[in-house]
Amino acid sequence: MPENLDYDVVIVGAGPAGLCAGMYAGRAMLKAVLIERGASGGELLNTEIIEDYPGFEHIDGWDLAQKFESHALKFGVEIHRKTVETVRKLDSGTFETITDGGDTYRSPTVIVTAGGTPIKLGVPGELEFAGKGVSYCAICDGAFFRGHTIAVIGGGDAAAEESDFLTRYAEKVYLVHRREELRASKILQKRVFENPKIVPIWNSVVERIDADEQGLVNNIVLRDAITAERRDLTASGVFIFIGFRPNTGIIEGHIGHDSSGYLTTDANMETSIRGLFAAGDLRSQLTRQVTTAVGDATTATIAAEKYLTALKSGQTSPEIAGSGGYAV
């Protein structure tokens, strides 16, 4: 039977941002629930090794996710394994977060940390070798390919920018694009064409990603988009930048966002819908890292707690003051 459940705050998503929000909500003695459709960890589960999170010079992504979850549970947050289908705000000011099983979670605040999803190529070897040569994050994984020959797939700003970045580590970077010219901005194209380590491969699409006996990427099969001719491309890494889709479709009603669909927030992580906060990869920002996700979540949860305090004191429309507290 579907249930109606009441909380102070509902947190959607159990990646680094969601787990951090759960920890801070528990520390603030809020009645909080974290709703996640799968295992906790988000994109950490797709990253074999983490070397850029302070305090951990080298840690497996799965292990770091487990530490995050244990820390959040220690402070009392509940974790429910369900899929959120809708988040909506009622005229009364209460939020309803509805899951696929029909359960309705009611709360005066919601923190959405549902992240985003890199758009996949959908070719054999891509999922099998994720974290073993296939990556969607140059900053996260570039250092593992020092002195290697790698390939970047894509033709937009992200592909061009990350190709240039990856030459800090790689000996050679093949930039594989399905068209005969890049879609990236002119200034980024200039950087690509002036970088002697970057070799563009035009009119080509990836058909398959191969690996050696240890399961590490060592080859890409390309197909010419015009002649259909196939060729092998030797590379130990494949960085895929063909797009990233923020998971914002669950939010009902108009909400402020940028041209790419990422949620816009104020400095306190509050969206254009009062009481709805956002943190992590689905928020419009310069970079998307574990460190920025937990920073967002820290701010969002503290702001949500202050919002709740203001509501309980009788303010019907609490405003955030420039000092970080709520105006009275």
pLDDT value, residue 82? 96
Cα(272)–Cα(255) distance, integer angstroms: 6
Active site residue: 60, 63, 103, 137, which one?
137
In-domain check, residue 186: yes
183 and 229, same domain (yes or no): yes
The single residue listed with the structure tokens 């000092």 is: 323
Task: Report the amino acid identity of residue 74.
Answer: K
Query: How many domains is the chain partitioned into structurally?
Result: 2
The 10s digit of each residue's pLDDT in 208-266 is 999 999 999 999 999 999 999 999 999 999 999 998 889 999 999 999 999 889 999 99
Nearest-CA neighbor of 109 among 273, 268, 293, 285? Answer: 273
In-domain check, residue 187: yes
229 and 254, same domain (yes or no): no
- Answer yes or no: is pLDDT of 325 > 70: no
In-domain check, residue 188: yes
170 and 229, same domain (yes or no): yes
107 and 149, same domain (yes or no): no
Q: Can you give the residue range of the structural domain that contains 157?
A: 134-240
In-domain check, residue 126: no
- Answer yes or no: is pLDDT of 324 > 70: no
232 and 300, same domain (yes or no): no
226 and 268, same domain (yes or no): no
- Answer yes or no: is pLDDT of 322 > 50: no
Active site residue: 8, 20, 140, 281, which one?
140
Q: How far apart are the first and last CA of the chain?
A: 43
User: Helices 157-166 and 186-194 sit at what angle, rounded to 10 degrees?
Assistant: 30
Burial of 168: CB neighbours in 10 Å, binned 0-12, 13-18, 19+: exposed
- 3-class state of residue 275 by DSSP: coil
The 10s digit of each residue's pLDDT in 105-128 is 999 999 999 988 889 999 999 999
113 and 252, same domain (yes or no): yes
In-domain check, residue 263: yes
Active site residue: 8, 20, 141, 281, which one?
141
Q: What is the mean pLDDT of the chain?
A: 92
In-domain check, residue 147: yes
In-domain check, residue 124: no
- Answer yes or no: is pLDDT of 301 > 60: yes
215 and 273, same domain (yes or no): no
The single residue listed with the structure tokens 């402070």 is: 75
The 10s digit of each residue's pLDDT in 150-177 is 999 999 988 999 999 999 999 999 999 9
pLDDT band at 1 (very low <50, low <70, confident <90, very high): low
251 and 290, same domain (yes or no): yes
What's 273's domain CATH number? 3.50.50.60
pLDDT value, residue 245? 87
In-domain check, residue 252: yes
Tokens of 94: 């209460």
160 and 141, same domain (yes or no): yes
107 and 162, same domain (yes or no): no
**Catalytic (active site) residue 141:** yes
152 and 218, same domain (yes or no): yes
